[in-house]
Amino acid sequence: MALIAALQMAAGPNVPANLMEAGRLIKEAAARGARMVVLPETFAMMGADEADRVKIAETFGDGPIQTFISQQAIKYGVWIVAGTIPIRSEDPAKSYAASILYDAKGKVVARYDKIHLFDVELSENHEVYTESDTTMPGHQPVVVDTPFGKLGLSVCYDLRFPELYRRLSEQGAQILVIPAAFTELTGKAHWDVLIRARAIENLCYVIAPGQGGYHVSGRTTYGHSMIVDYWGRVRDVREKGAGVVLADIDLDALEQTRKTFPVLSHRCPTQTITEGTS
């Protein structure tokens, strides 16, 4: 078994202050025995405007945010999933929302660029989000081997698209990582049920760290960072404010459940279902 931590933050517009807070939480998680630490989406900045993140975008492999995370991994001997870091794209007006995995030696092991972008209007409170104005979408699902199991990477709004998680589990994922910054409105309605659904339907652990609190943009994020097991059981949760969520990942128990409850092997391709309909 391995202890994994999800970190909850309420990031603001000041990058050094956010990194200091991330470092404090990484230190706490490591002191409590975590071997892998997962940061929330946009952990380095939640600015007054979405375009603020483009201004701090870094070249992949070089920049103060990436250097900081690499150094933290080395300092505490932990693997780190850096929620999202803005990485420069070919369009100077847009950056990738890149979730980057570092090993305990500070080396980049994998990078996933957020595929689904949050372009919605929440009519109940007139919040409008057009993430595609400032973010370049990714296109490639990512599953990576780690000492703790096969990790399937995703980010926030991806959570609403079960076909992505089917792809990840088909590629062998045992742990789904979903750093997020869910709004208060959508979080209250859907966060818990979607997290548990992704865990249950794919027989995977889900590590879901979030932003949780009030931000200078006027936005309030839902928080409720949680770790859920393959049976949909919430192993730990934090509702609001900065803090650490911890749980053991037991791959032996997961694989035993997959053998005795072989739902993953019972999947029927859509074509088969269509052909079988009279």
Q: Give the residue numbers annotated as catalytic, written as ranges.
A: 41, 114, 156
**Which string of b and e fits 5-14 if b means at least 16 CB within 10 Å?**
bbbbbbbbbe
CA distance 121 to 129: 6
CB 105 within 8 Å of CB 145? no
d(CA 195, CA 235): 12
Cα distance between residue 103 and residue 216, in whole Å:
33
Residue 88: strand pairing partners: 95
Kind of pairing, strands 119-122 and 127-130? antiparallel
Q: How far is CA 103 from the centre of its chain?
A: 16
Q: Could you give the CA distance from residue 60 to residue 252 in angstroms, rounded to a whole number?
A: 36
The H-or-E segment that residue 27 falls in is helix 15-31
Token code pair at residue 115: 């595929």
